């Protein structure tokens, strides 16, 4: 296998960025501003995903293309960035190369600097056999699969003659009381009660049962106790059953086991745990329990000052506090790693990472939310407006901003959903 | 197995419509206007598809939800229509029932009247083993698969170090010189030359080779010789290689065989033949060579005056002419079958089908088309404007009209494509 590098002009340094999420994309854009760098951005998907809105794709509120943009198109006219659709198989920090590509056709590419930004995935806490029955919500494919399962459940229930099977089809269990679980559960309850309720003849979608299961004592532990209570109340008003201090001990095709209790449900969705992308395991460096790379104050990997880890794949501690896996943290860390590379190339000292907490938000159903920034706490409709404004603002691409805004206006005015398509996995006739 | 029928009020007749395409949807809407009828609409997909624009989904110009609407949502507030997502397995014309549902859980439903509108699919002329290498373009899933293959081919070519493999990745073969093949080939050439050309570093998408293969002596045989020539010239200007009188004798993962000639291409798409949905084979009635049901003048199936076949699944002859498989013909036949059912229930005599030829159109690339209605023939930009106007007008759903119009305006102004997403078939991590 040959080691290749892009045709670099003399004096130019080669930076490999792995991952086109918030952290990687921000890093690549920042790095591209330096004419003395050439950036190779690798991602196993061709699109950057705006993950905070993914639950809306899963619940037929937005279309996949509303929340995703081609990574390649972000660098149109930027000559010193090259984007490659490639799965990274191996990273050798000692010899400074990355191996990517399909089986038997791997290619090794050397680097001067590395930015590891390959993100996180759902963790089933060692029970990966639950995944087929309880998909998580991290990729567009998973969102489309969850959408297919939700909409198909109502369709199958409409056809079902056996009342018991019909009830199982109209039971939905969401595991995990963090923002993903809360938003997903709220949106399922909402779609059943406001959108689908008019369109069925035999079943009443209003009777759908949505159960949100959280192992800890309360929902949304990252928020204040008060906001967490408010979110719980809002969810219950939407008809969601909230089960805290309830640990899932089994998941299968027919439902969920909570210790001795059985919840029969044909649809189970997983938003419980996250762990770093599997790639971290090949690095041979210190990881935390979630598989994240522990980094130094300048975000480089200990012992490898030219290699950085940022975003959800990094375990970043500032003054004893672990930085949360949120989009603003990913953007800030991606930016600082890029700046530190530029500063190193320019012979300047590096900067330490400082986290500006932009707060957290979560929506509950159609027009309620909770939001918290420092001492400021918002709830209800006002919080929802703030959520809406910030999410439209931070969406990448002018066009996505316009279409998402139109889509939301439309759905707000008419209680319709723009993306109620069930598409099969197999395209063959 | 029990025979079920919906809870009918006394005197109400039960009509089953199989298929929610142009013909079936039109029939169901027309039938719903009669209070003495109850309509059950069965389709194996939950959406009505606007097939004339499907090639734009395949070439990243439109999103799946732009060209599809939930069938169910078409009957919101219509109490005498019930929609079911169901695959019909068996039709018994003698005993007047339909069997649908999953394996082992089939249900038989009785009817007073039947409208068979289950459409057509691609025909590989007995070589179904070619399908994995050359997907057709009849469903949303196929469109997404073709999109994935087109976009992935460019991505893989960008990564490829071997020049020969790179060339194979940038070769595209479209089989079939009818409207589907012409529109697909033109759009692939267009996307390579205007959209993708700015976004790659190693390959030049402009060098992509698009070959359109037609077995007959000329493209678009349904159009006049003159328009066919014009379309050929327009395609060649876009860079498409047009190969007429060329019969495909083999398709595999590496390319296409045309007799002694080999075209190496990693992407092959199929738009060559159509045949009726397989369901017609279980009917035990006379079919034509394409598997279509031969119907009488009032569109009923010979010997079964209460059963009708309409749209692409029907072989309809008027004054010795076979009606073409176009959307207007499907709509007209669906409407007449519904009217004849209503007239029968009201004790009135049936009407014979008369075909109003609304002409045909095909686009070539981004802003050219050909159109033909009776003596009127249009070409170039004017024809494209007419095509655009008519397609936006006939799209179902106000919202789809708006979004498609905005999408086209955007792409016309900026040469961008809104739906350049590659999504995998498997959702698992």
From A138, A159, A423, residue closest to B141, measured CB to CB: A423
Q: Which chain B residues contact residue A122 at CB under 8 A?
A: 429
- Only one residue has tokens 């959406």, namely B47
What is the β-pairing status of strands A369-373 and A376-379?
Answer: antiparallel
Reference B149, options B183, B177, B191; nearest CA is: B191
Residue A411 near residue A418 (C-beta atoms within 8 A) = yes
Encode chain B (429 residues) as per-residue pLDDT tens digits: 556 777 778 889 999 999 999 999 999 999 999 999 999 999 999 999 999 999 999 998 898 988 999 999 999 989 999 999 999 999 999 999 999 987 778 899 999 999 999 999 999 999 999 999 999 999 999 999 999 999 999 999 999 989 999 999 999 999 999 999 999 999 999 999 888 888 898 999 888 999 999 999 999 999 999 999 999 999 999 999 999 999 999 999 999 999 999 999 999 999 998 999 999 999 999 999 999 999 999 999 999 999 999 999 999 999 999 999 999 999 999 999 999 999 999 999 999 999 999 889 999 988 899 999 888 999 999 999 999 888 888 887 777 888 888 878 877 777 666 668 887 767 765
This prediction's pTM: 0.93
State yes or no: is B183 an active-site residue.
yes
B161 with A107: Cβ contact below 8 A: yes
Tokens 């970043």 belong to residue: A316
Chain B contact probe: residue of A159, A274, A409, A426 with most B CBs at under 10 A: A159
3-state class (DSSP) for residue A316: coil
Q: Provide the 3-class DSSP secondary structure of residue B243.
A: strand
Cross-chain residue pair A63–B68, CB shorter than 8 Å: no
Task: Name the active-site residue from B30, B99, B145, B183.
Answer: B183
Cα dihedral angle (B263, B269, B270, B272), rounded to 10 degrees? -60
> Minimal Cα distance from B161: which residue of A?
A107
- Number of residue pairs across A and B with CB atoms under 8 Å? 155
| Cross-chain Cβ contact B136/A201 below 8 Å | no
Q: A161: which chain B residues are within 8 Å (Cβ-Cβ)?
A: 4, 107
Interchain CB distance below 8 Å, A65 and B418: yes
Contact B17, B32 (CB under 8 A): no
Compare CB distances from B141 to A47, A201, A424 and report the shortest one's residue. A424
Say which of A85, A131, A199 has its CB closest to residue B76.
A199
Q: At what angle do helices A398-414 and B398-414 cross, to 10 degrees?
A: 170
Q: Supply φ then ψ for residue B333, to 5 degrees.
A: -70, -40
* Backbone phi and psi for residue A165, each to the nearest 5 degrees, phi listed first: -65, -35
Which residues of A carry out catalysis? 183
- Going by their DSSP bridges, the two strands B47-49 and B250-252 should be labelled as unpaired
Q: Do B429 and A136 touch (CB under 8 A)?
A: yes
Could you read off the pLDDT of A19-61 as tens digits, one per residue? Answer: 999 999 999 999 999 999 999 999 999 999 999 999 999 998 8
Nearest to B137 by CA among B271, B232, B239, B240: B271
Locate A317 and state its tokens: 């501690």
Q: A425 to chain B: nearest residue by CA?
A: B425
Q: Are strands B88-92 and B97-100 parallel, antiparallel or unpaired?
A: antiparallel
CA distance A116 to A301: 10
Shortest distance, CA B396 to any CA of chain A (angstroms): 13
Longest CA–CA separation in chain A, Å: 74
Integer Cα distance of B234 and B239 in angstroms: 9
Question: Considering only CB atoms, which chain B residues are within 8 Å of A427?
Answer: 135, 139, 141-142, 144-145, 425
Complex ipTM: 0.90
Contact flag B429-A121 (C-beta cutoff 8 Å): yes
Closest C-alpha among A145, A142, A167 to residue A154:
A167
Residue B134: C-alpha distances to residues A191, B151, B253, B331 (Å): 38, 15, 9, 30
The C-alpha atoms of residue A177 and residue A370 are separated, in whole angstroms, by 14
- Burial group, residue B164, by CB count within 10 angstroms (0-12, 13-18, 19+): exposed
**Phi/psi at A88 (5° precision):** -80, 125
Q: Do A410 and B399 touch (CB under 8 A)?
A: yes
Q: Dihedrals φ, ψ of A235, to 5°?
A: -65, -40
């Amino acid at each position: 296998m040959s080691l290749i590098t892009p045709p670099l002009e003399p004096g130019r340094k080669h930076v490999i960025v792995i991952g086109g999420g918030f952290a990687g994309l921000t890093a690549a854009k920042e790095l591209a501003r330096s004419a003395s760098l050439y950036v190779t951005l690798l991602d196993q998907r061709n699109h950057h995903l705006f993950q905070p809105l993914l639950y809306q794709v899963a619940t037929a509120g937005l279309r996949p293309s509303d929340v995703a943009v081609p990574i390649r198109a972000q660098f149109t006219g930027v000559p010193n960035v090259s984007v490659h659709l490639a799965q990274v198989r191996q990273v050798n920090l000692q010899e400074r190369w990355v191996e990517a590509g399909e089986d038997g056709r791997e290619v090794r590419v050397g680097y001067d600097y590395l930015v590891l930004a390959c993100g996180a995935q759902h963790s089933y806490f060692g029970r990966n056999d639950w995944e087929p029955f309880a998909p998580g919500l991290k990729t567009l494919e998973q969102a489309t699969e969850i959408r297919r399962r939700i909409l198909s459940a109502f369709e199958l229930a409409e056809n079902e003659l056996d009342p018991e099977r019909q009830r199982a089809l109209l039971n939905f269990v969401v595991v995990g009381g963090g923002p993903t679980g809360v938003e997903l559960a709220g949106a399922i309850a909402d779609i059943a009660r406001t959108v689908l309720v008019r369109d069925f003849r035999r079943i009443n979608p209003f009777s759908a049962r949505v159960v949100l299961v959280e192992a800890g004592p309360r929902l949304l532990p990252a928020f204040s106790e008060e906001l967490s209570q408010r979110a719980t109340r809002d969810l219950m008003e939407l008809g969601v059953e909230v089960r805290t201090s309830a640990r899932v001990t089994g998941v299968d095709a027919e439902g969920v086991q909570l210790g001795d209790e059985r919840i029969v449900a044909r649809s189970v969705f997983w938003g419980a745990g996250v762990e770093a992308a599997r790639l971290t395991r090949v690095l041979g460096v210190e990881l935390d329990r979630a598989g994240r790379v522990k980094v130094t104050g300048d975000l480089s990997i200990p012992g490898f000052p030219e290699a950085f880890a940022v975003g959800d794949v990094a375990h970043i501690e500032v003054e004893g506090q672990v930085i949360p896996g949120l989009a603003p943290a990913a953007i800030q860390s991606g930016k600082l790693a890029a700046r530190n590379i530029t500063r190193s190339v320019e012979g300047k000292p590096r900067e330490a990472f400082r986290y500006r907490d932009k707060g957290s938000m979560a929506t509950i159903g159609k027009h309620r939310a909770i939001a918290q920034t420092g001492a400021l706490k918002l709830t209800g409709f006002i919080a929802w407006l703030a959520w809406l404004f910030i999410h439209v603002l931070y969406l990448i691409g002018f066009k996505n901003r316009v279409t998402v805004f139109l889509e939301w206006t439309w759905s707000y005015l008419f209680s319709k959903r723009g993306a109620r398509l069930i598409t099969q996995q197999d395209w063959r006739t």
